[in-house]
Amino acid sequence: MLRYLNKCSHGRGAWLLMALTAFALEMTALWFQHVMLLKPCVLCIYERCALFGVMGAGIIGAVAPKTPLRFAALAIWIYSAIRGIQLTWEHTQIQLHPSPFMTCDFAARFPSWLPLDKWLPQVFVASGDCAQRQWEFLKMDMPQWLLGIFVAYLVVALLVLIAQFFKPKKRDLFGR
């Protein structure tokens, strides 16, 4: 399996598939916000940023999968998945154990050199409350689903990272 993952990491298809899954999740978030009229909270916005990190890693990996740039993509992928887990865990705790002492900010704080909320307010401006449960599917809220998704991203990323040390078998016509 690790040899297969190594082989996949050297091709564009797997990287593009990862970017496509993150893009689909971003489009789903925008559907919830603009069509179903659910209000994203600050943690939701940060979770979107982590998904954009995963999507960016997929695009970087697809650009040059046979070069060392693949390792930069892996690093971004792992970092984004870890940050996504941290954010969704915090969000889940706020929703499951509401407390006036455990709240989130009113507005997302982006660095001055990357004011995403000013550049794309329809995507990066928060208007909801982190403790409010707005959507549920199979008895799990949105942050709980995202927690599972980010854990899956991290597990696959770590397997791909480990697979980099397992060279794929070269098979030729005569079995040499």
User: Which residues are tagged catalytic?
Assistant: 41, 44, 48, 104, 130
Q: CA 93 to CA 163: how far, in whole Å?
A: 34
Q: CA 69 to CA 85: how far, in whole Å?
A: 24
Identify the helix (H) or strand (E) that includes residue 32: helix 12-34
Helices H, strands E: what count in the chain? Answer: 7, 2
Q: CA 94 to CA 104: how far, in whole Å?
A: 9
Q: Which long-range contacts (CB under 8 A, 24 or more apart) does 155-158 make?
A: 157/74, 157/77, 157/78, 157/81, 158/78
Identify the helix (H) or strand (E) that includes residue 141: strand 140-141
Q: CA 24 to CA 27: how far, in whole Å?
A: 5
